[in-house]
């Protein structure tokens, strides 16, 4: 089975785009995340991501990455997922995420984390 290499451009079901730069030999990678959506007031700048993927010999790799959103009230998203070879030979990433937004009081900590799922397909 084909080794899943995350390098390149991906687009998810929300229209967000992710560029993964080179994946190192130890599976670590970095890139940029261009979110199409935000509950913040201002438009979001592309933000850095860092992560790592398993490179076991049988492909179908699991991975995780963290996005730190820049240039406005700070928040962090972590994604975990797995790469699959869709039946049509196209690679797809199925992910779950946690989004932590900064809250101003500890008493609001309970409402600071959202969760969801995203599916990514290769662009182009």
**Footprint on this chain of ligand BNI (rule: CB under 6 A):** 12, 14, 16, 35, 37-40, 44, 69, 73, 75, 77, 97, 99, 101, 118
We find the least distance from the C-beta atom of residue 91 to ligand BNI, in angstroms, to be 18
| Residue closer to ligand BNI, measured from CB, 24 or 71 | 71
We find the least distance from the C-beta atom of residue 39 to ligand BNI, in angstroms, to be 4
Of the candidates 66, 54, 64, 50, which has an alpha carbon nearest to the alpha carbon of residue 5? 54
| Residue closer to ligand BNI, measured from CB, 24 or 36 | 36
Q: Please tell me whether residue 85 adopts helix, strand or coil conformation.
A: strand
What six digits make up the tokens of 93? 């990433």
Per DSSP, the residues of 23-59 read: EPTTSEEEEEEE-S--SSSSPPPPEEEEEEE---TT-
We find the least distance from the C-beta atom of residue 87 to ligand BNI, in angstroms, to be 25
Contact 22, 79 (CB under 8 A): no
| Residue closer to ligand BNI, measured from CB, 37 or 105 | 37
We find the least distance from the C-beta atom of residue 3 to ligand BNI, in angstroms, to be 25
| Residue closer to ligand BNI, measured from CB, 22 or 114 | 114
- φ/ψ of 47, rounded to 5, equals -125, 155
């Amino acid at each position: 089975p084909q080794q899943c290499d995350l390098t390149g451009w991906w687009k998810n079901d929300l229209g967000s785009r992710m560029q993964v730069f080179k994946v190192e030999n130890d599976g670590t990678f970095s890139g940029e995340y261009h979110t199409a959506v935000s509950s913040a007031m201002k438009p979001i700048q592309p933000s850095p991501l860092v992560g790592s993927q398993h490179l076991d010999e049988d492909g179908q790799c699991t991975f995780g990455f963290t996005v730190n959103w820049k240039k406005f009230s700070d928040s962090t998203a972590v994604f975990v997922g797995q790469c699959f070879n869709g039946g049509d030979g196209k690679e797809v990433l199925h992910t779950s995420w946690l989004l932590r937004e900064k809250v101003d009081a500890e008493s609001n900590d309970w409402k600071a984390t959202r969760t969801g799922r995203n599916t990514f397909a290769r662009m182009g």
